[in-house]
A = this chain, B = another copy of it.
Amino acid sequence: MAAALRLVDERGLDGVTVEAISEAVDVSPRTFFNYFATKDDAVLGGPLPTGPSMRERLLAVPAEVALVPALLEAMSADIREVQAERDFWLRRLRVIKNNPSLLPLLVARGECAEEETIAAVAARTGLPADSLFPHLVASLVGAAFRTAMMRWATSGDTDLHDLVREAFDVLAVGLAAPAPTHEEVSK
């Protein structure tokens, strides 16, 4: 994975063959495909991050906390993990930005998390899991999180957790536009 990510970062997705990647790690191409189903998998792939499921984490948040802050809380572990491997993720996100055909895969990976989020939101609100609301919330949270990540990756060194919080705040207030930047908030 590391070799694949590095090579694609240097030469672009189409400039790197499976043969090149396997060669870089002294393995036969056939062995490559024993571990990754596709070339893309090697770049973005690897096993999904394990740990307590989204469902459990969300339900662990006290019930009196509103939904959006609760979701933020439930995701904070992932956020910390991403920030702990800052360089790795910056490179990975840069690669995605340069090779948009990979973005779909990132979305797909988020989808398994989405499944969990749906169940968790349904459980928390008492709504049936096949009603619109849980599905909607899950996809919105995923979109907000991705947007914050992408921004974090490009726009310098801000704290990821702050960015996600900012995005979630926008969600929580119903997409109210923030005041134009340099304007003082006069009380």
Contacts and interface: CB of A to CB of B under 8 A. Distances in A.
Interface of A: 67-68, 100, 103-105, 107-108, 111, 125-128, 131-133, 135-137, 139-140, 142-144, 146-148, 150-151, 163, 166-167, 170-178, 180-181
| Majority secondary structure of chain A interface residues (helix, strand, loop or mixed) | helix
Nearest to A163: B132
A70 to B, nearest CB: 11
A183 to B, nearest CB: 10
A174 B177 contact: no
A147 B143 CA distance: 12
Contact of A126 (B163, B171, B180): B180
Task: Please state the number of chain copies in the assembly.
Answer: 2
29 contacts: A68-B174, A104-B107, A104-B108, A125-B180, A127-B178, A132-B147, A132-B163, A132-B167, A133-B170, A133-B177, A133-B178, A135-B147, A135-B150, A135-B151, A136-B144, A136-B147, A136-B148, A136-B170, A137-B175, A139-B143, A139-B144, A139-B146, A140-B140, A140-B144, A140-B171, A171-B171, A171-B174, A172-B175, A174-B174
Contacts of A175: 67-68, 137, 140, 171-172
A41 to B, nearest CB: 12
A105 B105 CA distance: 10
